[in-house]
Structure 1
Amino acid sequence: MQLTVIGCGDAFGAGSRLQTSFCVRSGPSTFLIDCGATSLIGMRRLGISPNDIDTVFISHLHGDHFGGLPWLLIDAKYVSNRTRPLVVLGPKGIEARFNTLAEALYPNASTAERGFDLIFVEYEEQTPFTVEDVTVTPFEVKHPSGAPPYALRLEVDGKVISFTGDTGWVEVLCDVARGAELFISECFQYDVTMPIHLDYQTIDANYERLGAKRVLLTHMGDAMLAELGKVDAARYLVAEDGMTLDL
């Protein structure tokens, strides 16, 4: 199983990084974790075919995490000529939010005839759901976005990849991370504690409690990027666009 960082930036283009999206290739499935507005650009740069994607798991409904979906739709229809279903899982209301966004960007995009099914599935809190042999369990976190925001725990090929989404510190992150082969943690700030974003010092203070095998820091703002020299390399990997990790 291999994870590729398509984009690891924040909403503001800090460090010239693309917005959040990770591609996981496993035996049973190839899927995206989040799909920020720049995701299709990143996929093209890395040679990732949109037609390879079976499923998209969305953590929350902010544009830098789900705003790339309309571009996947128009690519599938007009360029990649997709024929097999694409399944998108996300918070309650994701289909309506997607349709609103797609129509604002490309009128009639959501209603035009297409040669594939676009299927939306809404998460239920801490209720596992399996698609293409990938089981996702969502855990509600703290990041207002017009719908419940989630950290995600994904089980595939007998391994666990977990992701904070965007959130301030909440105790449930220990359940999300425990035993994970890889725990992807947003790290927007270095030492400024915010109610809706994580910072490096808070993550590090809870490192042992998280209990993940590896921790990948992502979604770093300018203040965090300026302090990368202080990151404990024995504990953390620092995400870069285009990075690949074998799991």
Structure 2
Amino acid sequence: MHLTIVGCGDAFGSGGRLNTCFHVRTPESCFLIDCGASSLIGLQRLGLAPNEIDTVYVTHLHGDHFGGLPWLLIDANHRSGRTAPLTIIGPKGLEERFVTAAEALYPGATKRERAFDLKFVEIEEGKPLTTNGVTVTGYEVEHPSGAPPYALRFETNGKILAFSGDTTWSDNLPKASEGADLFICESYQFDQPNPVHLDFKTIDGNFEALGAKKILLTHMSQDMMDHAGSVDGKRYAAAEDGMVIDL
């Protein structure tokens, strides 16, 4: 897997970072994990062609994680001339929420005739789904967003990549992260508990339970960014927009 961090920021753009979006390339697939509102900007900035993306996986239905999908559609229809199919995989109600958002932003956008197939697939809790050689399994976590939120586990070519999505501590997190070569984990705050987000103190206290080889901290508030330099570099790395990691 070749991972490029398009955006690792929170909903508020703390530190000037873009919304959550991870670009992953494998021999069989090129996909996004989440597509926050600023994702198209980040893709263009990094020279990553939107038309090469075959699948977008969405953890939950907040704008900083799925709000960039309407711009992918607009780009495909009006600029890049997409012809390859695009599959969007995420929580129940994803397609309805996408249509609502896209039509609010660009009336008629979803009704326009397309030169490519657009398919929506809903995640089923704990049920593996394989697309283009990548198997994803979703585990429901705790983050109110009007639809089930998921931590996602990706397996392909003997490698495992997992992402917490947004959540407070959940006993489902180790199911997603166990044995992962890399676990991308939101660490919104440093040591202050939060009812809907993780803090580093909780993550570190559960490091063994999570069972990942290394944890990449993401979705950081300014408070967490101020402390990021003090974390154990053998266990953790702090995400940055534009960072590239090969697994």
- TM-score bin, normalised by smaller chain: over 0.9
Q: Which runs of 5+ in 2 are unaligned?
A: none
- Matched residue, 2:34: 34
Contact in 1 for aligned 2:184/2:216 (Cα 8 Å) = yes
Runs of 4+ in 1 over 6 A off after TM superposition: none
What's the offset of the Cα at 1:214? 1.4
- Matched residue, 2:163: 163
What's the offset of the Cα at 1:125? 0.6
- Matched residue, 1:63: 63
Contact in 1 for aligned 2:20/2:64 (Cα 8 Å) = yes
Work out whether 1:179 is the aligned partner of 2:195. no
- Distance in 1, Cα, partners of 2:102 & 2:136: 26
TM-score, with structure 2 as normaliser: 0.99
- Distance in 2, Cα, partners of 1:195 & 1:151: 17
Contact in 1 for aligned 2:31/2:53 (Cα 8 Å) = yes
Amino acid paired to 1:43 = L
1:68-117 Cα offsets, whole Å, 9 max, x none, are 00000010111110101100000000000000000000000011111001
Work out whether 1:102 is the aligned partner of 2:116. no
- Matched residue, 1:223: 223
Give RMSD over aligned pairs. 0.6
Amino acid paired to 1:208 = E
Amino acid paired to 1:47 = G
How do 1:188-203 residues align onto structure 2 when only pairs under 5 Å count?
Answer: 188-203=188-203
What's the offset of the Cα at 1:159? 1.0
- Distance in 1, Cα, partners of 2:134 & 2:229: 36
- Matched residue, 2:133: 133
What's the offset of the Cα at 1:229? 2.4
Amino acid paired to 1:35 = C
- Distance in 1, Cα, partners of 2:229 & 2:240: 15
1:144-178 Cα offsets, whole Å, 9 max, x none, are 00000000001112211100000000111111110
- Matched residue, 1:232: 232
- Distance in 1, Cα, partners of 2:144 & 2:115: 35
- Matched residue, 1:120: 120
How do 1:9-48 residues align onto structure 2 when only pairs under 5 Å count?
Answer: 9-48=9-48
Percent identity between the two aligned chains? 62
1:30-74 Cα offsets, whole Å, 9 max, x none, are 100000000000000100000110100000000000000000001
